[in-house]
Homo-oligomer: A and B are copies of this chain.
Amino acid sequence: MRKIKLILTYEGAHFSGYELQPGKKTIRGELENALHKLFKTPLKTISASRTDAGVHALAQVVGFQLNNSIPTPKIASALNSCLPDGIKVVKAEEVGEDFHARYGAKSKEYEYLIYNGDIMPPFYEKLAWQMKYKLDLVAMRKAANILKGKHDFKSFCASRSDDKDFVRTMYLISIRKRKIRIWNGQDVSVISIRVKGNGFLYKMVRNMVGTLAEVGLGRTSLKDVRQILSGKDRKLAGRTAPADGLCLLKV
Contacts and interface: CB of A to CB of B under 8 A. Distances in A.
Interface of A: 9-11, 14, 56, 58, 76-77, 80, 85-90, 111, 113, 118-125, 127, 178-186, 192, 194, 247, 249-250
Contacts of A184: 111, 178, 192, 194, 249
A122 B249 contact: no
A180 to B, nearest CB: 5
Given A111-B184, A186-B58, A122 B85 contact: yes
B186 A80 contact: no
A151 B65 CA distance: 61
A10 B85 contact: no
Nearest to A8: B122
A58 B188 CA distance: 12
Given A88-B120, A113-B182, 5 more contacts: A58-B183, A86-B122, A111-B183, A180-B182, A184-B192
A218 B90 CA distance: 28
Contacts of A123: 11, 56, 127
Nearest to A190: B182
Nearest to A77: B118
Nearest to A123: B11
Contact of A119 (B10, B80, B185): B80
A76 B11 contact: no
A58 B185 CA distance: 10
Contacts of A87: 122
A11 B247 contact: no
Contacts of A179: 181
Contacts of A250: 185
A118 B122 CA distance: 27
